[in-house]
Each structure stands twice: as C-alpha cells, then as structure tokens.
Amino acid sequence: MIAKNAGNEMVEFDMNVEPIDPASVHKVRLQNGTMMPVAAFGTFHSDWAQDYMKDATLEAIRIGWRHIDTARAYENEHDVGEAIRKALKRGYIASTEELFVTGKLWNGHMKPKDVAPALDNTLKALGLDKIDLYLTHWPWPNVHTPGCGPEHRNPDAVPYIHEDFMETWEEILKLKKKGKIINVGTSNHTRAIMKLLLRDVSDNERPAVNQMELHPLFQQTELRRYFQSEALTCVGYMSLGSPNRPERDKFREQRADMMDPTIREIAGETGISPAQVGLNWAYQRENKSGGYVAMATRSDWIKENLKAATADILTPAQMLRISGDGTKENPGIDANNRLIYGQVFLWPEAEGDWRVLWDDSQVFETRKNYKKFKKAWKSYNDVKIETTFRGQ
C-alpha cells in the first residue's frame, strides 16, 4: 500500500509491523452499557490526497484498531468505507460488528429535514446498516468553504440557539429509536449548552459521549470533570497536538505537545516515544474514564499509538507531572494551549473574537431572544461605526 503523507512524500506501509491483539486494547463502558475501545483512529486528512486515508485506515484495522473516528465533513466517508470493505475481504475483521464506528452530523445538515438523509448517506458510504456512535460535529449550523483561510466568515453564521439544536437532536433520537444509531453524542459542546441539553432530555435521550479537544498542553480538566459528573464519556481529539495541521490553522502562540520538556523527559525515562506518553496519559487520566482519537500515516506510528491504550505505561508519579493537582509542588503542564480556535464559524455579533465560541457569553435559548439581541447589537454597531474615531 502506498500513500502520500503530510509532507507530500510517498509512504509505504510496512506489512512487517506485527498487529496488536484488539482484545488487549482497553474499553470504556458508555451510559447504555456499550463497550467502546478507548483508542479511535482519526480519519481527518487535512489537505492531503483523498485516497491517503483509505490506505491508512486499512492499515490501522490490520494493526488492530477497532474504533474508527469519521465525519461527513472529512469528505472521505466513502474511502473509509472502502477500507472497511477491503479489511473484510482480507480477513483483518470477520464482520463489521468487530468495529466501533463514530460518525458526525455535519453543520450543514442540522435542519430537521436533512438529518435522516445525512445519516443514510453516511451509512451507505461506510457500508454499515447502523452506526455505533453518532455525534453532532458542532453545536451550531455554521458552514465554511472547505480549505478556507482563518479570515473567512460566513455572514449567515449564528450562535448557539437551543431551540434549533433541540429540533436537530429530536431527529437524531428518532434515528436511534429506529436502530440506525446505537449511541448519540455531541462534539465541541461547552458547559452552558450541555446544561441546556441535559435539562431538556429524558434519561434515554442524553448524549453518551462528548468529543472535545484534549491533549497534555490543553487538558480542559474542569470541563471534562463536569461532563464526567453527568455520566458523559469524554473522547479527546488532536491528542498528539496535531503537528501536521495546515499552516492556516497554526498560530504563533501555539505550542507543540510532543516537544514539551516534561513529555520528552518522561519519554526518555520510560523508553517510549513522546507520542505514547501523551496517549497513555490520555487513556489513564481521570481514572481511565475516557478515550482519545489519533491519526498517523506510518505503520510503526499507527502501532505505537494503539499500544498506548493497552497498559498503564506511565506511573502515577509521571501522570501527576503531566496533570498536576493544583498545588505549587505539582503544577502539571497544562498551558491552555487550544489548537482549534474555530474562527471560521464566528457570527457577526461575536465581533471577530474566537473566544466567544467557547466562553458561553452568547448562548440563546430561543430564536426570539437571538433576534432581539441581534437587532440591539446592529443598532449599537451602526452607532459605533458612525461615532468612534477610526483614523488611528
């Protein structure tokens, strides 16, 4: 199998890399009792060739990954489906029942009438008749042009409007009742919008999982504990710090997790790679309550990233050096180093400040409330433009 990697080099997967027994990979129990492998293979290809993820996913299944993280937005569900079909043909898996597949409803398909067709298209492309976990990708219906720059804005973008989200959620629940979805979940939910969702659903309508950005330099411990206290399982993405994300998504202030001195020190002491330190931490942290998504192009990396979910490699003392405990003696290494700002999703009233996406300062329960806010903001903004000095 040959594919291109992030550096546009041709990569050949190494079939001599011995697979890992999938049974040795840890699982977490979701609310309804489903056992979910904690390590999920990521299929977001950034700007690279589409057929790249097909071969990488096939190689991941060969090596023993049984949880595959997909999304309509990655524009490669068919390629992932092809990888699954090939894996069946080659006997890497005997049936798709051996896989745990996560899918995500894209923002552009959140209108109630679009939800069922979106899932049907996803299932068809993946070659499945049901999906193990279906997440809302983002909490609002804002879309952007694929591959756009950080300055891109969609004038129709809106903040979180609970009334709208609940209409989407109800459609997702109908598909769960029909048996097309086994577990429902969210991604990129903040505390306030999760509170609203949990307030308005019954026990069997609650999300089982929230997928969110989590890595050693961006731990989100408080938010993660809140979700956990509500029996939600947290799955982290960009677990390695997404070192090869496109340049347009990199900002000067961001740091690289795998280059952090503590991570490298622990890697040296333990005889494992910095990647494995981060992933083993992700699996062990907070009493082994969550999971991680990681993507890789090389057979040896694909293997080491999975191996990190098979044993407690880091000692409690090493875990503490990364997590910290809020004391001066054990500060940990969290640096609030968010990698996804989400600026392309900003609505006009956010005034270009990406923090508004995450700080719950503009969350609306009803369309009427947002309309009122928008009207007042527009008057204020018009006056601001008319009256303030702009000559500096």
Ligand X SMILES: NC(=O)c1ccc[n+]([C@@H]2O[C@H](COP(=O)([O-])OP(=O)(O)OC[C@H]3O[C@@H](n4cnc5c(N)ncnc54)[C@H](OP(=O)(O)O)[C@@H]3O)[C@@H](O)[C@H]2O)c1
For binding to ligand X (CB under 6 A), which residues are involved?
5-6, 42-44, 69, 137, 187-188, 211, 237-245, 273, 275, 293-298, 301, 304-305
Nearer to ligand X by Cβ, of 36 and 370: the residue is: 36
Looking at beta carbons only, is 76 or 289 nearer to ligand X?
A: 76
CA contacts within 13 A on the Cβ side of 239: 32
> CA dist 53 to 100, 146, 239, 347, Å?
17, 17, 18, 32
Amino acid residing at 289: S
Q: Tokens standing for 260?
A: 């952090």
Q: Which is nearer to ligand X, 297 or 318 (CB)?
A: 297
Nearest to 244 by CA among 3, 7, 1, 62: 7
The phi, psi pair for 124, rounded to 5°, reads: -65, -45
66 and 99 in contact (C-beta within 8 Å)? yes
Is residue 227 a contact partner of residue 186, using CB atoms and an 8 Å limit?
no
Q: By beta-carbon distance, which residue lies closest to ligand X?
A: 42
Q: Which is nearer to ligand X, 273 or 284 (CB)?
A: 273
User: d(Cα 373, Cα 194) in Å, to the nearest integer?
Assistant: 22
Minimum Å gap between C-beta 268 and ligand X is 15
d(CA 37, CA 22): 9
Distances (CA, A) of 188 to 13, 23, 138, 162, 234: 33, 30, 6, 15, 11
CB 237 within 8 A of CB 42: yes
Q: How far is the CB of 11 from ligand X (least distance, A)?
A: 8
Mapped onto helix, strand or coil, the DSSP state of residue 42 is strand
- CB neighbour list of residue 242: distance below 8 Å, 6 or more residues apart: 339
CB nearer to ligand X: give 40 or 115.
40
β-strands 291-294, 131-136 pairing? unpaired
> Least separation, in Å, of the C-beta of 47 and ligand X?
11
Min dist. Cβ of residue 303 to ligand X (A)? 9
Contact 275, 305 (CB under 8 A): yes
- Residue 99 Cβ, how far from ligand X at the closest point, in Å? 15
**Annotated catalytic, 380?**
no
Task: Considering the candidates 74, 92, 134, 292, report the single residue annotated as catalytic.
Answer: 74
Are the C-beta atoms of residues 133 and 101 closer than 8 Å to each other?
yes
In terms of CB distance, is 300 or 382 closer to ligand X? 300
Residues with Cβ within 8 Å of 316's Cβ and at least 6 positions away in sequence, in order, are: none
Cβ 43 vs Cβ 74: under 8 Å: yes
In the three-class reduction of DSSP (H, G, I as helix; E, B as strand; rest coil), residue 67 is classed as strand
Q: Find residue 37's DSSP bridge partners.
A: 27
Q: Taking the complex as a whole, how short is the minimal distance between the CB of residue 339 and ligand X, in angstroms?
A: 8
User: With respect to ligand X, which residue has the nearer C-beta, 81 or 370?
Assistant: 81
Catalytic (active-site) positions: 74
